[in-house]
Amino acid sequence: MIKITQYIPLHLSFFLVLGVLLGYYFFIPIEYLFFFGLAILTLLVFFFQLTKKYLQLRWIFQLLTYVLIFFIGLTSISLRDKQNQKTHYSHSVSKENSLIFQIDKKLKSTLYHDKYYANVLQINNTKSKGKILVNVSKDSVLKKFKIGETYLTTSILSEINKPLNPHGFDYSNYLKKQKIQHQISLNSSDLLALPFKNNSLRVIAAKWRNKIQTALDRYAFKDNEMAIINAIVLGQRQSISKDLLNSYAGAGAIHILAVSGLHVGILFLILGFVLKPLEKIKNGRHLKTLLIVLFLWGFALLTGLSGSVVRAVTMFTFIAIGLAIRSQRSAVLHALITSFFILVLIHPYYLFDVGFQMSYTAVLGIVLLYPKLNASIPRIKWAFPRKIWELFCVSVTATIGTLPISLYYFHQFPGLFFVSNIVIVPFLGIIMGMGILVVILALIEILPAILVQIYGFILSMMNTFIEWVAHQEQFLFKNISFSIFVLLASYLIIAMGYRWWIDKKTSKLLVFLTTILIFESILFIEKYERETSDEFVIFHKSKESILGIKKANTLQIFHSFDSIQNANLSFVDTYKVGRKLTKNKFINHIPNVINYKNLKILVVDSLGIYNDISFTPNIVLLRQSPRINLERLLQKHKLSTLIIDGSNYKSYVVRWQKTCLKNNINFHYTGVDGAYTH
């Protein structure tokens, strides 16, 4: 058996990831990539021939191999940069564009828009490629788009907006990792459907899902029940209500709704059990593996070949092949690493996908930690409590693998996730199996009403239980600050702790304790930086004014709300998490003069009073649309910056911006430029 540390794909994966990261964060022209690639390949061939005679030079060949893999990772993602793609639509964008696009994926709708991913086929009579976000207003007369439909539009291409307040969710950065940097908003007047046929696998799968949906609509499933069927059987979460989605998130069971590693793993186990009799015939083990792989990829096709399902099916394909060759735990681990390497090699942007990261860390946690944890107590004789203990071990080990990533991205920890997982996961195989049966029977129109009632009742009970768990808010820990350095240190502790756990040598204990010391040092440094830095913030809030002064670990908030309880201040919570603050103080008053360190800020509200001040302000904030002569104010006070917050009329903002441009004054509008910080 090859030790995992000696497994070559593990080494290759490390250098591949380094190359992908460098290529993502730094633009490298294609000409340089070609030159360096040719040079590395030439050296590799030269030393390969040389090592046949001089074995002692083998280390140079090995090093060059790692350099080549690093370069492949660098090249694979750099080639996907629009600046290195001459046919990318962004090179042909003008003020007025004629754009032909094809619908690629339906997204979850927002309150005002239906949303889609689309592939650009042509722009301004030039064949192009690239992906865009398509927004369709819900009050328009346009019908729902279908995957594969092609349209011509003259709508304006606009960039994806950055968050207007500090540490807010950066949707533009998220879409960048999906290779999307522009969006269009559509109405019926600037859209023309084109008779373009598309028979790709994705389109065929979409047609089958529509056919299944039509078949299911004939039966008396409730909205939430139908939404769950679509999610766990068809891989479509768009119809799940926001409240139900929040309940699953609060209960720590959101992964149940996203078809990924868990569902594919359960399907893998079901298929393995059903096809086990094949092992008794000649070459039956290989036939069983082939059928499992075919069924898994058929399921991936049915769910629309979404990234999460493709990744999970690829992972379990390698696991199935590994187990067919060698029935050992190491085979699963080797298959896991190999599938990771191949997926990142083919699609480097997977590396930045949260689902991809959590899938692999969860399975890695289970494979490495589960056997040791399960064996930590004497074997339980009775079947039911033994299964409860095994499920508990699976939940714990998967959580250990994913917890640092979960805290880093979502800043919350559902304390009752053990309860929801132990209750739901054992029945998820039954729910998925019944769901597939319901779909098949609905398609051939022989689905009995009693089965509809039974399956609907099971889904309703699951939803009710999840909602109950989610309402135990005292067990949901929110607003947890977790930096990238704490994330890396956490995984270092887990890795070194695992090494000491399986081999309790003093040297490994010392290394483990050292990683804990590193973790504590990072926390101390971050605490010191937090308590020794202050900040003044003018947040953006439509129709309101809200200012903040950060001192040490406390945020003092000045606001204009009648009632702070009814105000949506999620962006303040996000700011506190990002700055690692623990306290806040609300003040229902915004003063006309603010002194912050060496900064003097004059606040002019709707009363427009500013003549009686006895100092020269560095900055003026206009709020609540004051009716003032801005030219006169600028003449009276030699300003460096004028700030406009979200409480002002937009017509006033446009007029003030022209005045500032005329007088060469820095103009900052929070509705466009984002929150002002100093």
Per-residue pLDDT tens digits for 370-423: 888 888 777 777 777 777 777 778 778 888 888 888 888 888 887 777 777 777
CA distance from start to end of the chain = 59
User: 532 Cβ partners below 8 Å, 6+ apart?
Assistant: 552
Looking at residue 644, its pLDDT comes to 92
User: 570 Cβ partners below 8 Å, 6+ apart?
Assistant: none
Per-residue pLDDT tens digits for 336-372: 888 889 889 988 988 888 888 888 888 888 888 888 8
Amino acid (1-letter code) at residue 362: A
What residues are paired with 642 via a beta bridge? 620, 667
What DSSP string describes 296-358? Answer: HHHHHHHTT--HHHHHHHHHHHHHHHHHHH--SHHHHHHHHHHHHHHHHHH-GGGGG-HHHHH
* CA atoms of 393 and 371, how far apart (whole Å): 9
User: 381 Cβ partners below 8 Å, 6+ apart?
Assistant: none
User: Parallel, antiparallel, or unpaired for β 476-477 and 535-538?
Assistant: unpaired
Q: Cβ(110)–Cβ(56) under 8 Å?
A: no
φ, ψ for residue 481, nearest 5 deg: -80, 130
**Residue 562 confidence (pLDDT) above 80:** no
What is the band of 17 on the pLDDT scale with cuts at 50, 70, 90?
Answer: very high
* CA atoms of 157 and 138, how far apart (whole Å): 19
Looking at residue 18, its pLDDT comes to 93
Looking at residue 1, its pLDDT comes to 42
Mean pLDDT to the nearest integer, 112-117: 87
CA-nearest of 243, 299, 267 to 428 is 267
Mean pLDDT estimate for the chain:
83
Q: Higher-confidence residue: 389 or 3?
A: 389
What is the band of 567 on the pLDDT scale with cuts at 50, 70, 90?
Answer: low
Q: Cβ(15)–Cβ(345) under 8 Å?
A: no
**Residue 669 confidence (pLDDT) above 90:** yes
Looking at residue 611, its pLDDT comes to 67
Q: Cβ(252)–Cβ(265) under 8 Å?
A: no
* CA atoms of 245 and 238, how far apart (whole Å): 10
CA-nearest of 599, 469, 590, 597 to 541 is 590
Looking at residue 569, its pLDDT comes to 81
What residues are paired with 126 via a beta bridge? 123
* CA atoms of 456 and 595, how far apart (whole Å): 62
User: 78 Cβ partners below 8 Å, 6+ apart?
Assistant: 23, 27, 28, 30, 33, 84
* CA atoms of 216 and 229, how far apart (whole Å): 10
Per-residue pLDDT tens digits for 303-343: 777 777 888 888 888 888 877 776 566 777 888 888 889 88
HSE, side-chain direction, 13 A CA sphere, residue 438 = 30
What DSSP string describes 35-69? Answer: HHHHHHHHHHHHHHHHHTT-GGGHHHHHHHHHHHH
